[in-house]
């Protein structure tokens, strides 16, 4: 981190203190007149954090005000998502919301849902992969799928995230598409993708269904391999990994997506300004280069597109989670 | 090799060197002030490190703690008040030397053997951490479950307090660790519909409260305004050191290795290392009757031990994410904040950062020699800083630090509550360290237990199914049986008459 971003972080704490004092209407005419906070519900160093930081630094260039990334972690994302939803809709607090917003309320963790926000733009989506240990007896996805079908339920163990998290649903969806029950492969909850990959390398579980970029460290170290991704097309960064469709003829795809949103009732002119600025960020070579280099997928939806994307995703998640017995209440 | 070159580049950067220099001075000051501990120095650095990249952030903590553990010896010799608990074991002995007119020799021995012990601890860290990481990459939830059990057992076993009070503190820590979203089923527990509590009890804010605020409260209750400093002038510190080394080199090595071993055990740090090595020194001395009368022998053991414990405490912290002492418990939080999640993979993913930490450790121990000399020479000025100005400044740092941990007032409120709790606990002789360890390891314990049970389809014997897990399990159960057997044999001790 350079001296500059250290200074901007300092400014962020200043902005945090100043927020309650400024009335929302006051700044509208000459918005933005002070630094903007970009809240991230996940920890520093992770994929969401990295994506938010590149978006923030490019937004800063276009809006002419510092955009400070602030991590509000904990509670499986509830803490940060709720901080974004409950902030003042004055254009000075926005956040990166993630796929969990269409899932957590089905689990009864929070009242928040996609309707709690003013959607601004969808920027990224990563499909799940199917990772096994490097010396696993199943060297391609077909062999693994056949073995799963042939053995009794509970023989295979899989991990990748917490109970009811996005990668758990990816597994459930894949099993259901193969005509099996959602719990045919037993789910071992973990504290995110990295500990799950460690467990895989240690021989504790058989399969990890996190996204390929998240598995990258273990793949590069030669301790694990990716057999397939659950997406319509291959990822150019990992071109040797086939899709489920071309190998098993299963057309199943979900994804962990990330987008930018503001609290509900953000004034329309500010939302439009954000929309054009974010489009510029998405089209910039820096953003494309960064995302490709990390292996992250890029997708674009403007405010309206993002809203209908989330509404559809929310409905589908509700169905999938009820089907898998993960929904509560 | 590439990573090592990168590490040199990262450390020998003007900004990083400036941070190391400033934190060294800060560490010397905090260590030399009675009542301010090395753990507190780390806690106070948290808000500052928040705005830094990983290398200077970790460098600041490494340097400040190294200096603080040595500097704690200074007021021990001059005021008979240990600057940090790590110097408490031999503060009386040091003061007795001062009264015999041997302040020079005493301070010289403390400085030189602190540097020596520190370097041995670092050498062990450099040699063993990467090796252990290679082994630990094959650890699954079973091994981690037993390691968490062993860590928690150590916390009670190693504290000087009554075991019942140790267990009380430990179980309260485990209880606090259950607040938030349960790691297995994803269900919120004890959150009272509060979004902040869903994130759990933040352990760094807790530690700042328990270690710093509780100390401030104690200071506020008993402000002793005047501290009398020994009038003795400090002359040539290094005269006579060669003779001491020739006579007591065995003590130096023994103290360093005892310190290293104790530092690497979870829950026990520099203070316990000093107590134990002082006791061992007395036990094996040719002239145990001279201990306590201003003899240098025990000081050599203990001052080497407490500095060597610092480096080795990083071994379990980096490799397993299990803190070796209360300082590394904070370090683990800082590592997570910087995206360097502790665990065996950190050695593969960020080798240059790990090597940088090693380099800074060596560097810190080397600059301790000149800086320690300056600190001893200016000790009288340092000890004259009025506490009624110092304590509010520290409180301010605590507030900023706990805010930075959660980016909200929740951290501040939590820190203040824990400060009051910590103060009440200490006033009643209940140790704080087991609570912290329970809080830090609680989630790991629960998560690995549930993971293992799911993997084993409910069969408890699977906890012993892998070779390393089996050994760790048997060791843990044996320690528990021995503790129980001892408790029964002794019967209800100290029943109130």
Peptide bond into B324 cis (omega under 30): no
8-state DSSP, A211 = B
Q: What's the number of domains chain A is made of?
A: 2
Q: Do A242 and A270 belong together in one domain?
A: no
Decide if A329 is inside a domain. no
pTM: 0.83
Over range B311-325, report the average pLDDT: 91
What are the C-alpha distances in Å from B184 to residues A201, B2, B140, B422, B429?
A: 21, 40, 16, 30, 35
Using the structure block, give the residue that is written with the tokens 């250290």: A6
Q: Do A226 and A211 belong together in one domain?
A: yes
Contact A49 B348 (CB under 8 A): no
Decide if A328 is inside a domain. no
Which residues on neighbouring strands pair with residue A40, listed in sequence order? A71
Query: Are the C-beta atoms of residues A39 and A84 closer than 8 Å to each other?
Result: yes
CA angle A325, A326, A329 (to 5 degrees): 95
Q: Give the confidence band of B312 by pLDDT, cuts at 50, 70, 90.
A: very high
Taking CB atoms and an 8 Å cutoff, what residues of chain A touch B454?
Answer: 157, 186-189
- Residue B167 — φ and ψ, nearest 5°? -65, -40
Joined tokens for residue B5: 């070159």
Q: Which helix (H) or strand (E) holds A124?
A: strand A117-126
Q: In this predicted structure, what is the pLDDT of residue B160?
A: 65
- Model pLDDT for residues A296-315, shown as the tens digit of each residue: 999 999 999 999 999 999 99
Q: Do A36 and A140 belong together in one domain?
A: no
Q: In this predicted structure, what is the pLDDT of residue B65?
A: 96
A3: pLDDT strictly greater than 50 = no
Query: Are the C-beta atoms of residues B296 and B105 closer than 8 Å to each other?
Result: yes
What is the least distance, in Å, from the CA of A220 to any CA of chain B? 10
Task: Give the integer Cα–Cα distance in Å for B379 and B476.
Answer: 46
Which residues on neighbouring strands pair with residue A207, listed in sequence order? A158
- Model pLDDT for residues B236-254, shown as the tens digit of each residue: 888 888 899 999 999 999 9
Task: Give the integer Cα–Cα distance in Å for A290 and A296.
Answer: 8
Q: Give the confidence band of B307 by pLDDT, cuts at 50, 70, 90.
A: very high
Using the structure block, give the residue that is written with the tokens 């021989």: A203
| Of the partner residues A76, A198, A203, the one whose CB lies closest to the CB of residue B343 | A198
Q: In this predicted structure, what is the pLDDT of residue B226?
A: 52
Query: Are the C-beta atoms of residues B117 and B260 closer than 8 Å to each other?
Result: no
Task: Give the integer Cα–Cα distance in Å for B95 and B109.
Answer: 14
Q: Do A120 and A152 belong together in one domain?
A: no
What is the least distance, in Å, from the CA of B404 to any CA of chain A? 9
What are the C-alpha distances in Å from A288 to residues A96, A254, B310?
A: 18, 22, 45
Interface test with B, best of A48, A85, A195 (most B CBs within 10 A): A195
Q: In this predicted structure, what is the pLDDT of residue A22?
A: 44
Contact A204 B140 (CB under 8 A): yes
Q: Residue A9: which of A38, A42, A33, A30 has the closest Cα?
A: A38
Q: Give the confidence band of B404 by pLDDT, cuts at 50, 70, 90.
A: confident
Over range A67-80, report the average pLDDT: 87
Over range B117-124, report the average pLDDT: 96
Task: Give the integer Cα–Cα distance in Å for A139 and A133.
Answer: 9
Q: What percent of chain B has pLDDT over 70?
A: 95
Q: What percent of chain B has pLDDT over 90?
A: 49
Q: Give the confidence band of A293 by pLDDT, cuts at 50, 70, 90.
A: confident
Q: In this predicted structure, what is the pLDDT of residue B494?
A: 46
Q: Do A170 and A202 belong together in one domain?
A: yes
Q: In this predicted structure, what is the pLDDT of residue A20?
A: 45
B495: pLDDT strictly greater than 60 = no
Joined tokens for residue A272: 């439009």
Q: In this predicted structure, what is the pLDDT of residue A182?
A: 87
Q: Do A102 and A174 belong together in one domain?
A: no
Buried b / exposed e along B242-268 (16+ C-beta atoms within 10 A): eebbeebeebbebbbbbbbbbbbbbbb
The alpha carbon of residue A315 and the mean position of all alpha carbons in its chain are separated, in whole angstroms, by 18
Q: Residue B154: which of B492, B489, B472 has the closest Cα?
A: B472
Q: In this predicted structure, what is the pLDDT of residue B227?
A: 55
Over range B451-478, report the average pLDDT: 93
- Model pLDDT for residues B135-184, shown as the tens digit of each residue: 888 899 999 999 999 888 887 776 667 888 989 999 999 999 999 888 77
Taking CB atoms and an 8 Å cutoff, what residues of chain A touch B348?
Answer: 217, 221
Q: In chain B, how long is the greatest CA-to-CA distance?
A: 71
What are the C-alpha distances in Å from B341 to residues A7, A256, A295, B207, B337?
A: 25, 22, 21, 19, 8
Q: In this predicted structure, what is the pLDDT of residue B33?
A: 86
A9: pLDDT strictly greater than 60 = no
| Of the partner residues B143, B200, B349, the one whose CB lies closest to the CB of residue A74 | B200
- Residue A128 — φ and ψ, nearest 5°? -70, 155
Check which CATH number belongs to the domain holding A69 and give it. Answer: 3.40.190.150
**What is the torsional sign of CA B39, B190, A105, B454?**
positive
Domain assignment of residue A227, given as a range: 129-248
A287: pLDDT strictly greater than 80 = yes
CA angle B359, B343, A241 (to 5 degrees): 115
Q: Do A146 and A240 belong together in one domain?
A: yes
Joined tokens for residue B435: 């609570």
Q: Residue B277: which of B257, B296, B255 has the closest Cα?
A: B255
Question: β-strands A224-229, A157-159: how paired?
Answer: unpaired
**Last residue in a domain, options A193, A215, A248:** A248
Over range B290-314, report the average pLDDT: 93
Task: Give the integer Cα–Cα distance in Å for B317 and B264.
Answer: 9
The torsion defined by the Cα of A131, A132, A138 and A140, in degrees rounded to 10, comes to: 20
Residues with Cβ within 8 Å of A63's Cβ and at least 6 positions away in sequence, in order, are: A32, A36, A273, A277
Taking CB atoms and an 8 Å cutoff, what residues of chain B touch A110?
Answer: 195
Q: In this predicted structure, what is the pLDDT of residue B425?
A: 94
Q: In this predicted structure, what is the pLDDT of residue A35?
A: 92
Q: Do A152 and A237 belong together in one domain?
A: yes
A11: pLDDT strictly greater than 60 = no
- Model pLDDT for residues A150-170, shown as the tens digit of each residue: 999 999 999 998 888 899 999
B497: pLDDT strictly greater than 70 = no
CA angle B471, B472, B478 (to 5 degrees): 90
Residue ranges of alpha helices (H) inside chain A are 3-18, 47-63, 78-85, 141-150, 166-177, 193-201, 212-220, 244-248, 268-283, 285-294, 303-323
Nearest residue on chain A to B180, judged by CA atoms? A75
**Last residue in a domain, options A248, A280, A312:** A248
Q: In this predicted structure, what is the pLDDT of residue B464?
A: 95
**Last residue in a domain, options A213, A248, A283:** A248
Taking CB atoms and an 8 Å cutoff, what residues of chain A touch B137?
Answer: 198, 201-202, 223
Report the 10 Å Cβ neighbour count for A308: 12
Taking CB atoms and an 8 Å cutoff, what residues of chain A touch B50?
Answer: 9
Question: β-strands A256-263, A93-98: how paired?
Answer: antiparallel
Q: In this predicted structure, what is the pLDDT of residue B220?
A: 80
Task: Give the integer Cα–Cα distance in Å for B310 and B368.
Answer: 14
Q: In this predicted structure, what is the pLDDT of residue A240?
A: 92
Over range B13-34, report the average pLDDT: 93
Buried b / exposed e along B417-430 (16+ C-beta atoms within 10 A): ebbebbbebbeeeb
Task: Give the integer Cα–Cα distance in Å for B480 and A98.
Answer: 45
| Of the partner residues B143, B199, B344, the one whose CB lies closest to the CB of residue A74 | B199
Q: Give the confidence band of A220 by pLDDT, cuts at 50, 70, 90.
A: confident
What are the C-alpha distances in Å from B131 to residues B270, B314, B347?
A: 24, 14, 10
Q: Give the confidence band of B229 by pLDDT, cuts at 50, 70, 90.
A: low
Q: Give the confidence band of A77 by pLDDT, cuts at 50, 70, 90.
A: confident
Beta-carbon-side half-sphere exposure of residue B133 (alpha carbons within 13 Å):
23
Q: In this predicted structure, what is the pLDDT of residue B159?
A: 67
* Edge-to-edge strand list for the sheet holding A186-187: A186-187, A157-159, A207-208, A129-133, A224-229
Residues with Cβ within 8 Å of A268's Cβ and at least 6 positions away in sequence, in order, are: none
Decide if A149 is inside a domain. yes
- Model pLDDT for residues A38-60, shown as the tens digit of each residue: 999 988 777 888 899 999 999 99
Report the 10 Å Cβ neighbour count for A326: 22
The mean of the pLDDT values for chain B is 88
A70 shares contact with chain B (CB less than 8 Å): yes
| Of the partner residues B403, B404, B447, the one whose CB lies closest to the CB of residue A191 | B447
- Model pLDDT for residues B46-101, shown as the tens digit of each residue: 888 877 889 999 999 999 999 999 999 998 888 888 888 899 889 889 999 988 88
Q: Do A100 and A156 belong together in one domain?
A: no
- Model pLDDT for residues A80-101, shown as the tens digit of each residue: 999 999 999 999 999 999 999 9
ipTM of the complex: 0.78
Task: Give the integer Cα–Cα distance in Å for A53 and A46.
Answer: 11
Joined tokens for residue B283: 């036990």
Task: Give the integer Cα–Cα distance in Å for A310 and A258.
Answer: 11
- Residue B345 — φ and ψ, nearest 5°? -75, -20
B37: pLDDT strictly greater than 60 = yes
What are the C-alpha distances in Å from B36 to residues A130, B218, B273, B380?
A: 52, 11, 19, 17
Q: In this predicted structure, what is the pLDDT of residue B388?
A: 79
Q: Do A271 and A311 belong together in one domain?
A: yes
Q: Give the confidence band of A242 by pLDDT, cuts at 50, 70, 90.
A: very high
Q: Give the confidence band of A16 by pLDDT, cuts at 50, 70, 90.
A: very low
Q: Give the confidence band of A21 by pLDDT, cuts at 50, 70, 90.
A: very low
Q: Residue A230: which of A245, A217, A240 has the closest Cα?
A: A245
Q: In this predicted structure, what is the pLDDT of residue A18?
A: 44
């Amino acid at each position: 981190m350079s001296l500059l971003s250290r200074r901007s972080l300092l400014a962020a704490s200043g902005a945090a203190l100043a927020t309650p004092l400024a009335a929302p209407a006051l700044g509208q005419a000459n918005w933005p007149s002070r630094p903007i906070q970009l809240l991230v519900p996940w920890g520093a160093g992770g994929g969401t954090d990295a994506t938010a930081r590149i978006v923030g630094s490019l937004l800063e260039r276009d809006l002419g005000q510092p955009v400070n990334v602030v991590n509000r972690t904990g509670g499986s994302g509830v803490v940060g998502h709720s901080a974004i939803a409950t902030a003042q809709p004055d254009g000075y607090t926005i956040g990166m919301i993630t796929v969990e917003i269409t899932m957590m309320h089905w689990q009864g963790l929070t009242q928040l849902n996609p309707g709690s926000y003013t959607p601004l733009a969808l920027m990224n989506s990563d499909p799940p992969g199917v990772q096994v240990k490097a010396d696993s007896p199943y060297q391609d996805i077909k062999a693994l799928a056949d073995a799963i079908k042939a053995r009794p339920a509970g023989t295979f163990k899989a991990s990748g995230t917490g109970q009811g998290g996005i990668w758990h649903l990816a597994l459930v969806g894949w099993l259901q598409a193969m005509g099996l029950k959602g719990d045919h492969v037993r789910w071992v909850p973990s504290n995110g993708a990295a500990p799950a990959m460690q467990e895989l390398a240690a021989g504790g579980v058989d399969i990890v269904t996190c996204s390929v970029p998240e598995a990258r460290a273990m793949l590069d170290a030669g301790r694990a391999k990716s057999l397939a991704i659950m997406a319509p097309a291959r990822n150019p960064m990992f071109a040797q990994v086939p899709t489920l469709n071309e190998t098993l003829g299963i057309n199943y795809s979900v994804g962990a997506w990330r987008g930018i949103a503001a609290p509900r009732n953000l004034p329309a002119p500010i939302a439009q300004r954000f929309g054009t600025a974010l489009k510029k960020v998405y089209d910039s070579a820096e953003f494309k280069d960064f995302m490709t280099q990390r292996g992250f997928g890029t997708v674009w939806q403007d405010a309206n597109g993002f809203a209908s994307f989330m509404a559809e995703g929310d409905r589908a998640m509700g169905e999938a989670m009820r089907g898998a017995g993960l929904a509560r209440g | 090799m590439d990573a090592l070159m990168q590490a040199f580049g990262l450390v020998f950067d003007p900004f990083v060197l400036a941070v190391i220099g400033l934190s060294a001075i800060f560490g010397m000051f905090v260590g030399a002030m009675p009542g301010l501990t090395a753990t507190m120095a780390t806690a106070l650095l948290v808000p500052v490190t928040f705005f830094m990249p990983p290398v200077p952030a970790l460098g600041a903590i490494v340097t400040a703690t190294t200096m603080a553990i040595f500097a704690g010896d200074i007021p021990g010799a001059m005021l008979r008040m240990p600057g940090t608990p790590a110097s408490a074991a031999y503060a009386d002995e040091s003061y007795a030397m001062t009264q015999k007119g041997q302040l020079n020799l005493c301070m010289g021995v403390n400085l030189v053997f602190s540097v020596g012990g520190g370097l041995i601890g670092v050498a062990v860290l450099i040699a063993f951490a990467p090796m252990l990481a290679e082994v630990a990459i094959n650890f699954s939830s079973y091994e981690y479950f037993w390691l968490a059990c062993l860590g928690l057992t150590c916390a009670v076993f190693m504290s000087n307090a009554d075991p019942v009070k140790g267990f009380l503190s430990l179980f309260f820590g485990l209880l606090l660790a259950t607040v938030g979203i349960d790691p297995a089923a994803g269900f919120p527990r004890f959150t009272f519909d509060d979004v902040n509590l869903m994130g759990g009890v933040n352990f760094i804010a807790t530690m700042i409260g328990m270690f710093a605020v509780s100390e401030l409260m104690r200071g506020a209750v008993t402000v002793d305004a005047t501290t009398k400093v020994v009038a003795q002038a400090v002359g040539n510190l290094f005269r006579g050191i060669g003779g001491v080394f020739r006579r007591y080199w065995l003590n130096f090595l023994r103290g360093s290795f005892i310190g290293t071993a104790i530092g690497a055990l979870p829950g026990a740090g520099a203070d316990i290392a000093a107590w134990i090595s002082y006791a061992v020194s007395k036990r094996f001395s040719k002239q145990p009757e001279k201990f306590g009368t201003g003899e240098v022998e025990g000081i050599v053991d203990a001052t080497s031990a407490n500095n060597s414990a610092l480096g080795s405490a990083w071994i379990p912290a980096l490799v397993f994410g299990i803190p070796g002492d209360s300082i590394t418990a904070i370090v683990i939080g800082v590592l997570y904040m910087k995206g360097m999640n502790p665990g065996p993979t950190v050695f593969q993913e960020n080798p240059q950062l790990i090597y940088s930490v090693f380099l800074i450790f060596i560097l810190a121990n080397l600059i301790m020699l000149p800086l320690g000399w300056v600190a001893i020479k200016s000790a009288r000025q340092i000890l004259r800083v009025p506490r009624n100005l110092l304590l509010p400044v520290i409180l301010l740092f605590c507030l900023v630090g706990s805010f930075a941990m959660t980016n909200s007032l929740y951290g501040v409120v939590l820190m203040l509550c824990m400060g009051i709790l910590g103060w009440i606990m200490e006033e009643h002789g209940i140790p704080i360290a087991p609570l912290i360890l329970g809080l830090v390891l609680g989630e790991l314990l629960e998560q690995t237990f549930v993971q293992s049970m799911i993997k084993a389809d409910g069969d408890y014997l699977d906890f012993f199914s892998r070779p390393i897990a089996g050994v760790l399990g048997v060791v843990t159960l044996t320690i528990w049986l021995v503790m129980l057997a001892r408790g029964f044999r002794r019967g209800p001790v100290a029943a109130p008459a």
